[in-house]
């Protein structure tokens, strides 16, 4: 059995002439092409032979049997096909060239390029789907990406994207040259310079490979870098509505008692919270929203079962929303809270109508900010203690600022 | 306006039509016919010939006949005949224009 060796084929899909020259040199050195798979070619040791190799692109990948028969009748033999490139070789120096008309070859190139472009589009769509699943990680700017996913991940991703763009542009240029028949009409001696091109392509491939390894390692570091184990669902929120507005809390409990399996406190673990999956090891959120119309509807329910003359449970619109999170680091917690604060400041009603803002004195807390909007009076409380964050949005008759101390004590316990 | 596949007809395409105009032929016979007709001036590589025949078939210029073993003969359609005659008229016009330029000179 003859020796075999597998080599990386350092040529792009449009660099036909260079690949042909490389295969001819390999045959001249006693290595005959046996098979190809993606970017690799397997050679079998044979006697040195003087062969001509020609590559025929095919949008349907492997050439049809009819076409192969055509070529066989003229002394050209089919070697193998990979990435839509069909390789033929010929030993007879008198045999005609496969393509004696550059227009016909360009037509094949064009059809192949259309097929390749569709594949690239499909790949790009899949890549977009993967990236969009973590789009919020990138949406807050470069610093967000560096800190959250790690410098290694960000650097690898950036270099990989640049590499893919550059290689893609080079391929498109070469495609355009073949489509305009420029490449095929160039002197044959030109394709002897494949060694330099091969070296450049190998360098690009190594860079891309290093980036992929960096992505995997960087992503693993970010994914497994947690301070605490994830919280389980339905764990009690450390600061509940009851501490802010007992009347509201009581009304909510009453309404929910009337509903089968009612639950007004909703909590999520960090797996469910899609936006900050790598920021927090623990994340819980509660919401309660009862406007007049909703209360009336539930009052009807209550009246049906209790007192037909019953009055509404709440006299005005109420709203409560609280988030508790334990971040990966103090830096992440600080930035996340700052971004949340800024997003509230930039909200339409705050931006246009203004608000009262103040910092609260809070022993043991790194951040304690209070804000009340000037419209119907939404109140916000932003607290940070080390890696822990709590922030609340409340609408109702109570003054959230008066309850801040109790809230902070409850959070500290 | 999208470029049409047969505008303009290349020299290779013309000779393929010329051979099929005479009689039905398979690929090898066409290549040999063109080579003999042009005294080796025009040689059709198998890739070029296959591409031309595929294009003609797509445009309904020619059609395949029943295979004879591994070889498939082709024949010209009425549309192909029309295209061929149009090209012959164009080439004749080119020749007569030579006479015209001599008169002008």
**What local confidence, expressed as pLDDT, does residue A187 receive?**
45
- Cα dist. B20→A96, A106, B4, B48, B60 in Å? 21, 24, 22, 16, 14
CB contact under 8 A, A100 and B43: yes
Q: How far apart are the C-alpha atoms of A103 and B13, rounded to whole Å?
A: 11
CATH code (residue B27): 1.10.10.10
What is the chain B residue with the closest CA to A70?
B46
Residue A48 C-alpha, separation from nearest chain B C-alpha, in angstroms: 26
What pLDDT, in 10s, does the model give residues B3-23? 566 667 889 999 999 999 999
- Chains A, B: CB contacts within 8 A come to 61
B15 touches A: beta carbon within 8 Å:
no
What is the chain B residue with the closest CA to A95?
B45
In a domain, B65, yes or no: yes
In a domain, B6, yes or no: no
Task: Assess: ipTM above 0.90.
Answer: no
Residue A44: phi and psi, rounded to 5, are: -115, 135
Query: Which residue range(s) make up the domain with B90?
Result: 11-104
Residue A117 C-alpha, separation from nearest chain B C-alpha, in angstroms: 19
| Residue ranges per structural domain of chain A | 4-224, 241-412
Give the strands of the sheet with A77-82, arranged side by side.
Answer: A52-57, A85-90, A77-82
B10 touches A: beta carbon within 8 Å:
yes
Q: Which distant-in-sequence residues (6+ apart) come within 8 Å of A204 by Cβ?
A: A163, A166, A167
What is the chain B residue with the closest CA to A57?
B47
- Cα dist. A62→A53, A56, A85 in Å? 16, 10, 8
CB contact under 8 A, A74 and B51: no
Give this prediction's pTM: 0.63
Nearest to B10 among A67, A97, A101 (CB): A101
Nearest to A99 among B27, B45, B55 (CB): B45
Q: Cα angle at A398 between A269 and A352, to 5 degrees? A: 80
CB contact residues (below 8 A), chain B span 73-102, against chain A: none
User: What is the sign, positive or negative, of the torsion defined by CA atoms of A160, A163, A167, A168?
Assistant: positive
CB contact under 8 A, B46 and A105: no
In a domain, B4, yes or no: no
What's the number of domains chain B is made of? 1
B9 touches A: beta carbon within 8 Å:
no
Q: Evaluate whether B98 touches B92 at the Cβ level (below 8 Å).
A: no
Per-residue pLDDT of chain A (413 residues; tens, 9 = 90+): 789 999 998 887 778 888 898 999 999 999 999 999 888 999 999 999 999 999 888 766 677 788 888 888 889 999 999 888 899 999 998 888 888 877 777 777 777 777 777 777 777 777 666 666 555 555 555 445 555 556 777 778 778 778 877 877 777 777 777 666 555 555 444 556 788 888 888 888 888 888 888 888 877 766 665 444 444 444 566 777 788 888 888 777 776 665 554 444 444 443 334 444 456 666 677 777 665 544 555 555 555 545 555 566 676 777 888 888 887 778 878 878 887 888 787 776 666 667 788 888 888 899 999 988 887 788 999 999 998 888 888 988 899 888 888 888 877 76
**What local confidence, expressed as pLDDT, does residue A319 receive?**
83
């Amino acid at each position: 059995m003859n020796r075999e060796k597998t080599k990386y084929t350092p040529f792009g899909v449009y660099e036909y002439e260079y690949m042909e020259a490389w295969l001819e040199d390999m045959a001249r050195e006693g290595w005959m092409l046996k098979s190809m798979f993606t970017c690799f070619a397997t050679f079998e040791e044979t006697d040195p032979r003087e062969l001509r190799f020609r590559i025929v692109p095919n949008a349907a990948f492997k050439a049809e049997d009819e076409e192969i028969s055509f070529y066989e009748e003229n002394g050209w033999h089919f070697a193998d096909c990979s990435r839509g490139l069909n390789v033929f070789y010929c030993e007879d120096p008198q045999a005609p060239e496969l393509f004696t008309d550059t227009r016909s070859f360009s037509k094949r190139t064009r059809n192949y390029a259309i097929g390749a472009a569709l594949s690239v589009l499909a790949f790009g769509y899949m890549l977009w789907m993967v990236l969009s699943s973590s789009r919020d990680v990138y949406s807050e700017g470069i610093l967000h990406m560096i800190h959250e996913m790690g410098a290694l991940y960000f650097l690898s991703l950036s270099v990989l994207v640049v590499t893919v763009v550059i290689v893609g542009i080079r391929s498109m240029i070469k495609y355009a040259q073949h489509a305009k028949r420029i490449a095929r009409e160039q002197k044959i001696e030109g394709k002897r310079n494949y060694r330099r091109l091969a070296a450049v392509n190998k360098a690009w491939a190594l860079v891309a490979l290093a980036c992929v390894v960096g992505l995997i390692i960087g992503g693993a570091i970010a994914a497994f870098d947690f301070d605490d184990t994830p919280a389980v669902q339905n764990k009690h929120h450390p600061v509940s509505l009851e501490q802010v507005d007992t009347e509201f809390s009581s009304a909510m409990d009453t309404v929910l008692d009337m509903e089968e399996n009612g639950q007004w406190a909703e909590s999520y673990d960090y797996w469910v919270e899609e936006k900050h999956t790598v920021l927090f090891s623990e994340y819980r959120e509660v919401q309660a929203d009862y406007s007049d119309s909703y209360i009336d509807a539930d009052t009807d329910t209550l009246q049906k079962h209790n007192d037909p003359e019953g009055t509404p449970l709440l006299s005005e619109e109420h709203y409560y929303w609280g988030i508790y999170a334990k971040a990966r680091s103090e830096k992440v917690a600080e930035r996340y809270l700052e971004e949340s604060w800024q997003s509230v400041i930039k909200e339409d009603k705050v931006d246009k109508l203004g608000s009262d803002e103040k910092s609260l004195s809070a022993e043991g807390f790194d951040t304690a900010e209070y804000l009340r909007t000037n419209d119907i009076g939404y109140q916000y409380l932003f607290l940070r203690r080390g890696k822990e964050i709590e922030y609340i949005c409340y609408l109702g008759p109570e003054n959230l600022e008066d309850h801040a101390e109790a809230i902070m004590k409850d959070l500290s316990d | 306006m999208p470029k049409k596949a047969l505008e303009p007809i290349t020299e290779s395409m013309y000779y393929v039509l010329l051979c099929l105009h005479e009689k039905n032929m398979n690929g090898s016979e066409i290549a040999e016919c063109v080579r003999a007709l042009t005294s080796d001036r025009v040689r059709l590589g198998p890739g070029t010939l296959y591409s031309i025949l595929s294009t003609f078939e797509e445009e309904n210029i020619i059609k395949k006949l029943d295979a004879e073993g591994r070889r498939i003969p082709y024949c010209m359609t009425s549309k192909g005949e029309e295209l061929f005659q149009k090209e012959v008229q164009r080439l004749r016009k080119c020749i007569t224009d030579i006479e015209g330029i001599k008169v002008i000179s």
